[in-house]
Chains A and B, each alone.
Chain A
């Protein structure tokens, strides 16, 4: 017996799918502003291309491998190959609305990696990398977290702190280790060529994130409103946290800092959005802004050329949100916490949830690192991951795409 469709919920999920789609061009501009002018098209292209490629993979096999009812917690099946039979999915929204919403998540996740490898990743190799990454890393991780054993264990992830941000952040590190640093890294300054683009991209990401988080309950209800407000507040305090630490460390309050802090807050609130309330989103966002700024040191110390700080913002932001949820999860906000999981340490629970959160972060992180590293090594050995030295000097726009962003 199928549930009757709810038009309000359906409308909200469809709109949320559109909002999440818009985040990928937003990310393109967020990153595109930060690279040098000879690489801006390369960066925009990598993000736009993810929409085309990953959407296709998702329709052919991706959705089925995550949400096909295989009866195990590790991988789905082929029931929904080419989106066949998704209309039979039970719920008060059409199965196809759920497909669309989940598809946009699958698209933006590999696109997050592009910030780490900016200015030097060969386009063809990038296409192969994110295609296989979607199949081998994102799909299993999403299955475990949204529809599999990590969920059953009791780990909470409202909209994708682990399967999306930790997974992509760790993958970014793995690819950087294989591809190496940009030519001149550490010797010549490589300042952003168009920070206004980055501000524009931040605005689009922030806007789209309302769909990302408040759509994840798949309903237009009080929890969606709570998630939307949580999302907004964490972005706001993320900005404040980053800027305060930046000032405290003796610098200016920078525009890029305000944008980076807001995104760090958005990343951290992603797993928490529908599970926390009250002052918690303010604390989560602020902590993420401050800690992600401090995490910029990691790449300096390790000499990793994580060019646009995917590790500091997405990996660390994802870890901060995933772990803080173990403290702040509140059954008064979302009764499902008490039924399926355990409450946060500060809201009447024990260390149980914090432990589950830690396990989920660790499992997803280690899995993503191992598979991504092997994948990147394989591509590097066969088709080469990195553009040649001349192409790198010339820039990705001309060498990879035979186009220029700025001509007279």
Chain B
């Protein structure tokens, strides 16, 4: 089992999602992140004083797949996310020691783990991870 994480340009998210759907990867976890790299940032002004915003908005997506499918998925993401310009992003592949699936009774398929990829990443157990519980009155 491998965790594939990609950091991409935000407006490419839909293309990437469609490309992954097309190869039957049905689950991804997406978060808004900021990146600092070769693309550089931009300058903003606050009442005459300029300051540099180094961080550029990016989207990070994570999915857990079977080892056999890693190449296919990486390629699909790379192709869909590329614009040919600096700042297109990166894809990392990491080992997943263990994946547990508690919400569905049926045997897990690799892509259904991907919903929890962010949690796996932080090495937390699903059952006790506090973010799954409501923590304040409504």
Contacts and interface: CB of A to CB of B under 8 A. Distances in A.
Contact of A246 (B44, B48, B52, B136): B48
B45 A192 contact: no
Contacts of B49: 296, 300
Interface stretch (A41-49, A92-100, A254-262): A254-262
A251 B45 CA distance: 8
B50 A256 contact: no
Contacts, number: 29
A206 interface: no
Interface residues of B, number: 10
A192 B44 CA distance: 11
A260 B45 CA distance: 13
Contacts of B45: 251-252, 254, 257
Interface string A289-317: 00001001100100000000100100000
Interface residues of A, number: 18
Interface string B21-64: 00000000000000000000000111111111000000000000
Interface of A: 189, 191-192, 246, 249, 251-252, 254, 256-257, 260, 293, 296-297, 300, 309, 312, 407
A246 B45 CA distance: 10
Contacts of B44: 191
Nearest to A246: B48
Task: Determine chain B's interface SS by DSSP, over half rule.
Answer: strand
A249 B46 contact: no
Nearest to A195: B46
A86 to B, nearest CB: 42
A296 B51 contact: no
A190 to B, nearest CB: 8
B85 to A, nearest CB: 24
A242 to B, nearest CB: 9
A349 B129 CA distance: 78
